[in-house]
Amino acid sequence: MSVKINNVDLGSCSYNGNEVTEILVNGIQVWQKSSPAIEPAILLYKTKSDMDNDPTGAKAATWSTNTYSGDGPAAYDYFYACYSIAGVDGNFSGYNTKYWTGTLQTDANGRKYLKGEVTTGRSKTGQYIIFTPSNGDPEVRQDFCIISI
């Protein structure tokens, strides 16, 4: 949807060289430029600090799709698997959890995450993690491999 005032599209409007992100009338916000939608996903982070400092998921690590490349998770390592959308309750589950385990928590941005730990020293294929939102939204699945160290 496009918002126009006097036939000016506010979605691409600037004032004195600065992008217009909101309009106030008598101190009351009457329009705000919306942020791009965040797609439901399970994001990977190596540290809690990385996760807390990345509310949009733009700096998330890359899940490994084989046992020798990608960011992880790695054998005997810790990882953070974070549902991308803030404020959504739900639970994590997965396959082959004999090789990894985790605790459900909430990050500084209000997103649910699994503080995970890989419990094997060997690389493993065929892993996946699922986040099931309690609000009825579809579950999200992330396939991954545990990489060797």
Per-residue pLDDT of the chain (149 residues; tens, 9 = 90+): 455 666 666 556 666 666 666 677 777 766 666 666 789 999 999 999 999 999 889 999 999 999 888 899 999 999 999 999 999 999 999 988 889 999 999 999 899 999 999 999 999 999 999 999 999 999 999 999 999 87
What are 146's strand-pairing partners?
Answer: 124
Check whether the bond before 36 is cis (ω within 30° of 0).
no
Distance (Å, rounded) from C-alpha 57 to C-alpha 37? 12
Sign of the C-alpha dihedral, residues 88, 32, 5, 28? positive
Contact 65, 146 (CB under 8 A): no
Angle, vertex CA 113, rays to CA 63 and CA 79, nearest 5: 45
